[in-house]
Each structure stands twice: as structure tokens, then as C-alpha cells.
Amino acid sequence: MKKIFFILVLLLSFVLTGCSGPNKTVPTETTSEELSEVDPGLKEKGYVRNQLTDPALYDYTNKQSGGVSNPGTVVPAAGAEKIGKTSNFNKNRKFEISGTAQILSESKIRVSSFNYNGGGGTIYFGLAIANSSDKPLAKLKEITTAQSDISFEMSIPSNISLDQFEVLGIYYNSEEFPISTANF
């Protein structure tokens, strides 16, 4: 009886632990979905996997790699949503001011279909904060004569980012408050 019990325990141990023999690995199938590095739509836009999964490490390793001093223009997230925004100037009947302003990039604003009858003398375009539009942050362009349906581009000063202003105002040289504004 003891021998049968001993044999049963021995057989059970072999069954539970298995026989030690050469390890055989079973090949696993991988689908094309698993091999994909990045969504194809993102790949077309130039994104790479490391840039999406660990942006801090990606930036660090790119700056450490030799030769690349500026891989491209990076727009701060706070201002990126303003690029492409369009706003109409408030109509001013006295001076017949009208037109449309659009933020083209982090450094350019385009004014289209701009009209001004010249009755107020010299005016200028300035960037300001909405609740403090009487104190422009920067003076962009001056106009001294009447204008009819013109378009032009203005450069945003390099020390002002897109998230620092909310208003493109039109000012008299002698007045503090804007005579017309385009709000972004």
C-alpha cells in the first residue's frame, strides 16, 4: 500500500510540474495593427511614436542629437488655438472703418477689405488686452490717409506671444481708447 501511495505521489508530481525537456517556444502571430507605430493620419502630419508617447524625452533626445539646433517652429499651446481666427472690426460710421483681421501665424496678422475715410487723421493699429484696451501693448502699423478696400499684413513683435493679447484696436494718435476693435 505504501508503494502504491508513493508511486501515485511521484506520478502526480510529474504531471503537475511537467517533464523537464528542451524548451519549445510557440511562435506568436502579430497582426499589422500591433506593428503599427502611429496612427496613419498622424504619420502623414509628421508625428513619430516617441513624440506622442513621451514628448519630454523626445524633445530632450532631439536637442542632444548633433547638428539640429532648431527642428522647427513650435507654437506655445496657449496661443496655437488663435492661429486662423478671423474677426471683423467694429463698424465706425463716423470714419467709415470696416474690415476683417485674421491671425496667420505666431508672428503675422492680415487685415483684409479695410476701409477708412481719413476723417480722423493718422490712425494706428495696436495690440491690447480686452479689459485694458486703452493701453495698447504694441503699435503695429500707422495709416495717414483714406483707404478703400485694401489688404495688408502686419508683424507681431517677437516679444509678444499670441496668448498675451485679445484685441487688435484702431487708435487715434491723440486718443487713448480705440475707435474700432477686432476681438480674438
Name the pLDDT band for 20 (thresholds 50, 70, 90): low
- Which domains are present in the chain? 38-64 (no CATH), 83-183 (2.60.40)
| Cell numbers linked to 98 | 470696416
Name the pLDDT band for 52 (thresholds 50, 70, 90): low
Distance, in Å, from the CA atom of 106 to the CA atom of 84, rounded to the nearest integer, reads: 10
> Which ranges of 54-177 does DSSP label H, i.e. alpha helix?
55-64, 77-80
Distance, in Å, from the CA atom of 53 to the CA atom of 64, rounded to the nearest integer, reads: 19
CB distance 138 to 157 below 8 Å? yes
- Predicted local confidence at residue 71, as pLDDT: 44
Segment 3-9 mean pLDDT: 81
Q: How many CA atoms lie within 13 A of 143 on its CB side?
A: 24
Q: pLDDT tens, 126-151? A: 999 888 888 888 899 999 999 999 99
pTM score, whole prediction:
0.56
Check whether 174 has a pLDDT greater than 80.
Answer: no
| Cell numbers linked to 144 | 495717414
